[in-house]
Structure 1
Amino acid sequence: MAAKQTNEMEMSFLDHLEDLRWHLIRITVSVLICATLAFIFSGFIFEHIIFAPKRMDFPTYRWLCQASQLIGINDTTFCATEFPFKIQSRQMSGQFSADIWTSIFAGFVLAFPYVIYQFWSFISPGMRAGERKHSRGFIFVTSMLFFIGVLFGYYIVTPLSINFLANYSVSSEISNEFDISSYISTVRSSCLASGFVFELPIIIYFLTKIGLVTPQLMRKYRKFALVIVLILSAIITPPDLASQIIVAIPILILYQVSIFISKVVVRNQNRKSSRVPN
């Protein structure tokens, strides 16, 4: 009898792994399809998206230039005519590799809602009917937060990083000639890091659901969270104070929103537990 139960549990576990494998296959196929479309339109992506932040007509530079002039600062790098650097490819396969990896990155971003859908399809069968009902907007909210984060990284973090690093110089004898892989890595990491950081409310929601996080705990360690936010801002932005503050503000807002979400989750759980008869 015990051997039979063990065999059933083993089969159930193997079935679970098989289900996970098919979800991962669907995710991979969706990313590859979107990456193929991105590769077909790679000329447009490079010219109007990837290389746009290296031109001074980029919207962020215009806004920051106007803001600087409003407060009386006219001599600023945001109002320059061009950046003092060139992008080069120093390897035989440099441009081809950049094209491939950029297409994969774009494919992942485009396929993100479907990736989240597959993730949700895998975990939702283990949830109660009531939990699935209250989580119907999970895919939409998660995708929206990710895309907002990517846009924040593209329009805020990326131009601030490029502006700082392109104009930083230790000597006039040195000219900046960045490799294409280094430039694209800066754009990619800024966008992806911001996209995942903006998922903080979703992460806090699930951590609260399983009891690892409470609103009281988040309030108690708010000061430590502030330090972590500043460190995180320093990692994904250039090391100047203004850029770190600009990035830290939305992260702090997300932290406050996460406290509210955690409070709502705990309140709903308490209501359900109070309705259960002793």
Structure 2
Amino acid sequence: MEKKEKAKQLIELQNVKFSYSQDDDPGQEALKDISLGISRGEFLAVIGKNGSGKSTLAKLLNGLLLPSQGRVLVDNLDTSISDQIWHIRQKAGMVFQNPDNQIVATTVEEDVAFGLENLGVSPDLMKARIAEALKIVGMEQYRDYPPHLLSGGQKQRVAISGIIAMRPEVLILDEPTAMLDPRGRNEVVKTVLKLNQEEKITVVYVTHFMEEVVKADRVIIMDEGQIKYTGTPEEIFSLVDELKETGLEAPQIVELCHELRKEGVEIPNNVLTVESLVRMLC
């Protein structure tokens, strides 16, 4: 994938702290002094073990949680200002790990329409937006299906479709494949990549599956409420031993390349998939 040119930051976190405790006990901080910028059109992956703070970070990005200290700005709108939350959530759409929690209607078409109805979109425009959103995620042939008849991956694509029909500028996905089998995970990852590369939607992708982020523009590793490492996928996956210290395992192909390098085989750091390793060795 070609590197995107540096663009204006769409989201900014300025010295953000967050605590779930009522008395703001520093020992209970889920996030500790996070500063981060996310550019328009960027695909940012956020990785970390359970309890690292990655899901808390995601929920701060569209005002589901408010920082205990610091500021979160979405297109220069401050999440701490209640009058701006509605506009922020139109700009930043959220997809959660369990699609059943976001599906509310009896057919796929009605489910995608739900958010548009809340926005007061006209019937003619709504029909066009639904068709477009379902086509983008490859679910147009299922528009009349009851959602409960769909697979997990298909349900998650419907949930994503409902969000992108509202035309957000950034799509935030909080472990969207955690409850899916490998086939469903692959469906969702391909859909998200398409949205980023073809529809130019900014993506913040939270996961603990390392192999899902090899095509991200940038990866940050969360550990104990802080950003431990940040870089391109190539830079991050070259830190095989450091990742293990944070409780993460590099993808198997990256582990294999790491071991081959130890044996003296010259393998570039940008080899992150089976296909690229086969081409290089041949």
Which has a greater percent of strand?
2
The two structures have a TM-score, normalised by structure 2, of: 0.24
Which has a greater percent of helix?
1
Larger Rg: 1
The two structures have a TM-score, normalised by structure 1, of: 0.24
